[in-house]
Structure 1
Amino acid sequence: MGISFSSVVDAPVDEVFAWHARPGAVVRLTPPWLPMKLKREAASIRDGRAEFSLVPGVRLVARHDPRGYVESERFVDVLETFPVGALGGWRHCHEFTDLGGTRTRATDRVDTPVPERLLRAMFVYRHRQLADDLAAHAWARALRPEPMTVAVTGSSGLIGTALTALLTTGGHRVIRLVRGRARGWDERFWNPERPAADLLDDVDAVVHLAGESIAGRFTEEHKREIRDSRVTPTRLLAERAAATGVEVFACASAIGFYGPDRGDEVLTEHAAAGDGFLAGVVADWEAATEPAAEGGVRVVRVRTGIVQSPNGGALRLQRPLFSAALGGRIGSGRQWTSWIGIDDLTDIYLRALVDSRLSGPVNAVSPHPLRNAEYTDILAGVLHRPALIPVPAFGPRLLLGREGAAEIAEAGQRVVPAALAAVGHRFRFPSLEGALRHVLGKARAVGVGVGVG
């Protein structure tokens, strides 16, 4: 049985084909709700092999068939290990048709007995990702036509994985700063306590994402790890950026800067710092970037909201609970939730790198914050489940302690992206429902044609 999925994207055919051929494309196209993790990316879409892990001990290998390769027109991959036997075979032909000007028809043709209804969500996701990523690269090139060399810390984390793939599919070179042994030309060893003098040689920009997770009970040891993993390493890296003369230093930050409870106050980048442990850490974290700014580097501090991805963060914990109809609001549900879709967040980092109008703090949040009760109702609706079981206050306090619960689970900040609005930034998913549908495989197939034959 053959299944086809087709859509028209606003980009020349050569650019659409090149996007698929660059490192990171398979990361950008793999739906986050699938139980798959990329272990090795194909070196070439002509004749390379990509390897994924499924459940522990089970792998999936996709081999590109050189007989199906036609430059700028077609490439083919075939599954050659489990679950080929269970599926009865899988041959996937990627076709690209030049419609003239800046329009290309992208078509996926899959020969497999797997029912179309089980594949539809995956291909709706892939075609939306392709169109949105190509649009992001187009506006980025309009701001800075030349590709950049970007050094990234925390490249293997939730945000780093998505961002490095976005950058490489756009033609940028990424150098991963790793704390273990560097294993290739695209990695450099980074000692956070003593960065090497040549660490940032030949680098245009730095994206600093590394830091201990804030999740967990707020013991004195955990709080020390949160602070120590951010403040001193950031200051030393910022000093190295200034000494090397990089153009841009984009540093992760957090809306925890505004404190755990600001009520209904609308918080732009000009709002004062709040109270509490995390507010203090974030203020010191941002201050640690000052050596770069004083050295003439454009510094962007990306104050990130609650990231929406089933691969990590709060949604990773909430999804199974809500899927089992065990989810609900936290406490009164009146606290504000300032959120951001994972792909909108990577777009913000891309803009931070290429848009010289951005500097200082930038609120990386959707323009539409919601109260926690609204958030939970929308999540439950996307998953077609009720949200009937509120989480009592003592629940988060048992897991996180009183201070941790107040700083994380019960926190509320009504944050808006004023700096992004000032430069005319457009969000892929300004509404929560759209963002959740996309990352949870519940999106509607707008602009995507599906055929079975």
Structure 2
Amino acid sequence: MGLTSSTVVRASRSEVFSWYQRPGAIVRLTPPWMPVHIKREATDLANGTAVLGFPLGLEWVARHSGALPPSQFVDELDSTPLRWLVRWRHTHDFEVVTPDETRVIDRIDSNVPGVLLKSMLAYRYRQLADDLAAHDRAVAGGMRPMTVAMTGSHGTIGTPLAALLSTNGHRVIRLVRGNAAGPDERHWDVEKPDKGLLRGVDAVIHLAGASIAGRFTSAHLRAIRDSRIGPTTQLARLAAETPDGPGVFVCASAIGYYGPDRGDESLVESSARGDGLLASLVGDWERATEPAAAGGLRVVNIRTGLVQTPAGGILQLQYPLFAAGLGGPLGNGDQWQAWIGIDDLADIYHRCLYDAELAGPVNAVAPEPVRNNEYSATLARVLHRPALLRVPALGPRLILGKEGTEELALASQRVLPRRLTDLGHTFRHPDLESALRHLLGRTGQS
């Protein structure tokens, strides 16, 4: 048994092969719906080893060999007990079509049924083409290789974002709370960061913070606030005081800034702050970056919408329910949902590093917000399932409490990415259905 598949991408063969060689390539190419996490990347396509973790503690060890840059490399399964059950040899070939076009060919010799591999390869081809196109746009926009310090680099957003940056040629230094392992990690004491933490760094991306999801008890709200306000203030102050430190400070924020319900009002970056617990918290969170701005850094606050990825967030919760035919609208379903695909969110963070036009708040949402009724119908259609089981508001209230339900589950925010659209920003997936089909491997081509 085996499978041969190919695609043509707009990049030279040397550029494509170099992309595969950079850290993060395997992360960018691994479909988010697969129950796998990357435990170790191969550092060498000629003689490196990648380790993928599967449920039940199983490990897929892929040993690389046969590299003939820039035309070929091979990976083979080399792990017990999986190799007793699975045969796997994957040859990656790269052929010149034109000086600016390359045919990527995957030849898989395996006893895994080909039908199970087609959606994976189709995803990889879309991801490769979109990442290369985003790289071209970044270069045209003035991007240069940077050293980027990042908090929260192993989270739902940080993992794909760090991989996007490194495959784009940037060096990512992970700021970790534990002991640093290797030259690309630095220990980050959130209360009293070392004065040399940001030396030699061009930009900071600050993502870390306790999850907002949960019942809005005083303890939960205190944990959310304490994980954001103080650490952000300390990091912003350090960024401003480091002589050979960063010139850009990009900090996560949230559309909770606009309050839980503004009706049908179109909310853009210049819209007033709303009411409510989250609006107050997000306002304080953004103000915590002021020391960096006062020190002359360009500061960007990424007001993020509902992030779409089956690897985390709302889609991770809803995907299994809708796949089982048990999903449906929440409450009356009229609430607006401002959403963003995970790869578009990563592109926005990347653009904020090099585009000097972006400063202050930036709404990281797709240009087409939808109501919850439409979101539910779209997800169900992508999964070929009904969406008939409407969830009463009482359901989330039992888990989140009254305030948590109003601020999270039933929040209605028609947020638009005005700053980005004014700059002509290109979204990979401006509409919800194309985003969900890509993220869930349901494009119809696979």
Superposition map of 1:401-440 within 5 A:
401-440=401-440
1:196 aligned to which of 183, 194, 197: 194
Corresponding residue of 2:184 = 186
- Residue 445 (structure 1) shift: 3.0
Match of 1:393 in 2: 393
1:361 and 2:358 matched? no
Cα distance in 2, alignment partners of residues 101 and 429 from structure 1: 28
**CA shift for structure 1 position 247:** 1.4
Tell me the CA shift for residue 59 of structure 1: 1.1
Equivalent residue number for residue 17 of structure 1: 17
Q: Residue 306 in 1 paired to residue 306 in 2?
A: yes
Letter in 2 for 1:147: P
Aligned counterparts, 1:27-426, within 5 A: 27-65=27-65, 68-81=66-79, 82-87=81-86, 89-244=87-242, 245-426=245-426
Task: Report the alpha carbon displacement of residue 85 of structure 1 after superposing the two structures with TM.
Answer: 2.9
Whether contact under 8 Å (2:258, 2:279) holds in the other structure is yes
Deviation at 1:166, TM superposition (A): 0.3
Q: Unaligned stretches of 5+ in structure 1? A: 447-453
Q: For the residues of structure 1 that align with 2:48 and 2:436, how far apart are their CA atoms?
A: 33
Identify which range, 339-348 or 129-138, moves more after superposition: 129-138
Structure 1 letter corresponding to 2:193? P
TM-score, structure 1 length as denominator? 0.96
The offset of 1:12, in angstroms, is: 1.1
SS of the equivalent of 1:163 reads helix
Between the aligned partners of 2:165 and 2:293, the Cα distance in structure 1 is: 24
SS of 1:50's equivalent in the other structure is: strand
CA distance in 2, matches of 1:118, 1:222: 42
List runs of 5+ in structure 2 lacking aligned partners: none
C-alpha contact (below 8 Å) 2:143/2:354 kept by paired residues: no
Measured on the aligned residues, the alpha-carbon RMSD in Å equals 1.0
| Counterpart secondary structure, 1:56 | helix
Kept in 1, the 8 Å contact 2:40–2:52? The answer is yes
Question: How far 1:101 sits from its partner (Å)?
Answer: 2.4
Query: Could you tell me how far 1:100 is from its partner in structure 2?
Result: 2.2
> 2: CA distance between counterparts of 1:197 and 1:69?
43
Task: Figure out how many residues of one structure are paired with residues of the other and give that number.
Answer: 443
Instruction: State the identity %.
Output: 59
Q: Which amino acid aligns with 1:300?
A: V
| Residues 433-448 of structure 1: pairs in structure 2 closer than 5 A | 433-445=433-445
* Higher mean displacement: 76-85 or 355-364: 76-85
Q: CA deviation at 1:132?
A: 0.6
Q: Secondary structure of 1:270's partner?
A: coil
1:145 positional shift: 4.3
The one-letter code sitting in structure 1 at the alignment partner of 2:20 is H
CA distance in structure 1 between the aligned counterparts of 2:57 and 2:104, rounded to whole angstroms: 34
State whether residues 253 and 286 of structure 2, in contact with CA within 8 Å, keep that contact through their aligned partners in structure 1: yes
Matched letter for residue 331 of structure 1:
G
Provide Cα deviations, 1:47-72, integer angstroms capped at 9, x if missing partner.
1111111112211111112xx21010
Take 2:339 and 2:287, find their aligned partners in 1: how far apart are those partners? 24
Shift of 1:116: 1.8
**Partner amino acid, structure 1, of 2:75:** D
Which structure has the higher relative contact order (CA within 8 Å, separation 6+)? 1
Q: Distance in 2 between matches of 1:282 and 1:267?
A: 15
